[in-house]
């Protein structure tokens, strides 16, 4: 299989390799010189596989840059997004038959981002806590643990973030419905809802009792 043509795209950092079988593969423009690519070049299976990996790396890396530009990200979040995105890209580019090693590509993307200090565990943790001010500390702790944030960092971020403590959060949520708490069914539903959001029953009861006394 040969390269029939190399086409420019609207993106200055990307070109399209068009092969004699009409297979089209986007690659970074710098790979033209790096891989000595040219029209009529015979591409053997080894080089083709390398170019496919380069293409997917290019897309994965740029996805991560867009995500990081939006808000700080930690490694687990980026790995998850890459695992969701790259298989879709394989289908879009019709690369199924070539079976690229996605784990290796993801590993290389993460290594590159780490080498550039673009993965920010601390920034992500503080950002996550600020994004969900209504969630309990227990719920935040659980969710961040699933995202592989170190326990010490979670504790530090919760302590240093300028957010309400759990009892203050409960009070803010309950005070709007204080007049409805005379109805036992409404009270039970409210307590159950708060418990599902990770708040401790004793904290909920203490806040409700205190607000009821103040009426």
- pLDDT tens column, 35-84: 999 999 999 999 999 999 999 999 999 999 999 999 999 999 999 999 99
The yes or no reply on domain 3-115 and CATH 1.10.10.10 is: yes
Residue 167 near residue 158, CB atoms below 8 Å: no
pTM beyond 0.75? yes
For residues 169 and 7, the model is more confident at 7
Tell me the pLDDT of the chain averaged across its residues: 90
């Amino acid at each position: 299989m040969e390269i029939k043509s190399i086409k420019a795209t609207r993106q200055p950092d990307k070109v399209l390799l068009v092969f004699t079988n009409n297979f089209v593969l986007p690659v970074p423009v710098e790979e033209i010189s790096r891989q000595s690519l040219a029209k009529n070049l015979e591409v053997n299976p080894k080089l083709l596989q390398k170019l496919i990996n380069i293409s997917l790396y290019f897309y994965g890396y740029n996805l991560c840059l867009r995500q990081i530009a939006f808000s700080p990200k930690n490694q687990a979040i980026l790995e998850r997004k890459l695992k969701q995105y790259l298989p879709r890209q394989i289908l879009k580019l019709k690369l199924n038959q070539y079976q690229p090693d996605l784990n290796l590509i993801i590993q290389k993307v993460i290594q590159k981002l780490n080498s550039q200090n673009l993965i920010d565990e601390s920034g992500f943790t503080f950002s996550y806590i600020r994004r969900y001010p209504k969630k309990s500390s227990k719920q935040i702790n659980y969710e961040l643990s699933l995202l592989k944030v170190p326990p010490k960092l979670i504790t530090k971020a919760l302590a240093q973030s300028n957010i309400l403590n759990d009892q203050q959060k409960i009070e803010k949520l309950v005070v709007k419905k204080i007049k409805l708490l005379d109805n036992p069914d409404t009270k039970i539903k409210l307590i159950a809802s708060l418990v599902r959001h990770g708040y401790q029953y004793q904290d909920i009861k203490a806040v409700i009792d205190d607000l009821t006394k103040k009426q």
